[in-house]
Structure 1
Amino acid sequence: MDEVPLEWCFSDGVVLDMRHKPDGSVVTVDDVKATLKKINYNIKPFDIVLIMTGVDKYWGTTDYLNKGCGMGRESTIWLCDQGVKIMGIDSWKSYFFDYFFELSKSLLLLNNILVVNHYRYTLN
């Protein structure tokens, strides 16, 4: 964290609401693009992208481990290709779905992407 360029932390951010996805499902490139279209936003280099799965509301319960969706390999690559440098997700599943874990983790590390896990939302 101490080696992350400070300018990466002062950029536009966007929340991609994936709460509609079933538990255990994978967020695809089409899901990301559809969500961006719905909110009329185009990803640009250095954007901070936060994935909202809704699982944060289960924090502190055993359901936290079984709820939510995760990023797939292709959607992870697509966001990297857009120039995103910081990604986050509100679940323990990190930024990607379990069976893509090692590959996606490697993709993010190789592309110098900072990842934030377990953040919490406050929605009205």
Structure 2
Amino acid sequence: MSVELNHTIVHATDKAASARFLTEILGLPEPTPFGPFMAVPLAHDLTLDYYEVEGAITSNHYAFKVSEADFDGVLARVVERGLDYWADPYHQQANRINTNDGGRGFYFEDPDGHNLEVLTRSYGSGE
């Protein structure tokens, strides 16, 4: 049996702004409306469907694997915006990247406090 994740819903206080934030940071095409969602298509037919909710947002973690070449552009856009970023998921190592598994990675937050991760190597795949 083959199973793959097709889409997941991301809660946001402003679905258009949050979806646009992600596409701009990752260098993706503009999000598109789909029913009550703002859809951000990723590789392998996976879509993040931003959905607007009222009240407090529960922070979730979303990790994005990118190429070594794309990593530099993503990090540059985070720095250009003056966003805080960390080498670790607990936000203890500020303004640093990690080299887990022989790759590079870092964490930052979106406008609703979701903990976003960018990495170049899957965990357990290298050094």
**TM-score normalised to structure 2 length:** 0.29
Structure having the higher helix fraction is 1
**TM-score normalised to structure 1 length:** 0.29
Higher relative contact order (CA 8 A, sep 6+): 1
Which structure's CA Rg is the greater one? 2
Structure having the higher strand fraction is 2
